[in-house]
Amino acid sequence: MTRDPCSGANNVLLGRSVKELEEWAVGNGQASFRGRQLHDWLYNKAVDDIDGITVFPKQWRDDLLEKGFTLGRLEELTRVVAEDSTLKLLLATKDGENIETVGIPTENRLTVCVSSQVGCPMACRFCATGKGGFQRSLALHEMVAQVLSVREAMNRRPSNVVFMGMGEPLLNIQQVLGAIRCINNELGVGQRKITVSTVGVPNTLPNLAEQAQKILGRAQFTLAVSLHAPNQELREEIIPTASTYPFENLLEDCRRYFALTGRRVSYEYILLGGLNDTKEHAMELADRLIGSQSHVNLIAYNPIDDAEFKRPSVRSIGSFKRLLEQKGIKVSLRASRGLDKNAACGQLRRQQGKAF
């Protein structure tokens, strides 16, 4: 049985706005300014437990702990830093599950890759997370806590957030959108600097657009849809759950999403050596996307320990990109990061207990 990600969330303080914290303080017998103090300590000073909020009277701190209130931060279990400074954290939730988050730095930006679930039910064959099965969806505060953990570990404010970690965000829409609202409003990351990645879940994209406008006021984040193939047959071979979502239906839903939000869809395409990276695949993909408001983000496969796939050659990567561009498709190539430390999603969690 899937557990409720919000179970016990009434006692969790992380993820609340300043107004909500002011109301909470008054409801707990304090002046509203205590809520503003808490907001500062949660999101700016990034305290990790109630007893560390030293501006609160000691007696009140003790009372809050006795009542079961918690900030909702996650415990760091393992930290791995690659040669290119990519950081991967393995974090523990309060119920003993483990999740991953990644910090990807460049000179001008810090991107945090956030997990939305413990494990993933989508079972993509190239993904380490899918091989570990699915346990539950994450609550709002557990996603926000990942951003704070990376910020503290790297001593740098994140500029971008991508929901591309463990899990399928569209199977956890309400909590993901709540996390986006918090990251945007409380941590100061602009919506246009936030990306939600999905492999595609039937009948969810119009709902995502509707719920985003309801919860966020407008849908300004980037939607990234993982295609990984130019046709249904090959897509099902790579993503078995794609059998429930015909290729043309997925593309039509993406067009509807654009019509509802005005936001261009980004298509993720992981290049698997010898499987989906040929000239013919590039031409077929271009033919499917010509005329739509879209962008293709190419990703060279990052091998996992027991991989059945291989990384594409530099030549095939370059050729695939050029062919799309020649067809008028907007395309970019995502740089591989953290290869020396197994930074592909799900690998650190699978390796827990081994030497790093």
Q: Report pLDDT digits (tens) over 34-69.
A: 999 999 999 999 899 999 999 999 999 999 999 999
Q: What average pLDDT does the segment 259-277 reach?
A: 95
Choice among 120, 124, 127, 345 that is catalytic: 345
Q: Are residues 35 and 146 in the same domain?
A: no
Task: From 306, 274, 271, select the one nearest 285 (Cα to Cα).
Answer: 271
Amino acid identity at 218: R
Q: Are residues 102 and 37 in the same domain?
A: no
Q: Specify the CATH number for the domain of residue 229.
A: 3.20.20.70
202 and 55 in a single domain? The answer is no
Over residues 230-238, the mean pLDDT reads: 96
| Residue 220 confidence (pLDDT) | 95
Count CB atoms within 10 A of the CB of residue 190.
Answer: 13
pLDDT tens, position by position, 156-210: 999 999 999 999 999 999 999 999 999 999 999 999 999 999 999 999 999 999 9
Number of domains in the chain: 2
Q: What distance lies between CA 8 and its chain's CA centroid?
A: 23
Residue 55: inside a domain = yes
Same domain? For 61 and 80 the reply is no
pTM of the model: 0.91
pLDDT per residue as tens digits for the range 300-329: 998 766 568 899 999 999 999 999 999 999
Identify the residue with better confidence: 354 or 164: 164
222 within a domain of the structure (yes/no): yes
* Average pLDDT across the chain, whole number: 91
The answer as to whether 4 is a domain residue is no
pLDDT score at 340: 52
**Using 50, 70 and 90 to split pLDDT, how confident is the model at 129?**
confident
The answer to whether residue 268 is catalytic is no
* Choice among 22, 97, 100, 142 that is catalytic: 100
Average pLDDT for 203-223:
95
Q: What pLDDT, on a 0 to 100 scale, did the predictor assign at position 308?
A: 81
Q: Position 285: which residue type?
A: L
Residue 13 pLDDT exceeds 90: yes
Q: How far apart are CA 2 and CA 121, in angstroms?
A: 11
- Residue 89: band (very low, low, confident or very high) from pLDDT cuts 50, 70, 90: very high
- Rounded Cα gap, residues 39 and 33, in angstroms: 10
| pLDDT attached to residue 46 | 82
Look up the domain containing 21 and give its range: 10-66
Q: Is residue 119 part of a domain?
A: yes
Note if 97 is an active site residue: no
What pLDDT score was predicted for residue 337? 61
Percentage, residues of the chain above pLDDT 90:
83
Give the number of other CB atoms < 10 A from CB of residue 29: 9
* Domain membership flag for residue 3: no
pLDDT bracket for residue 127 (50, 70, 90): confident
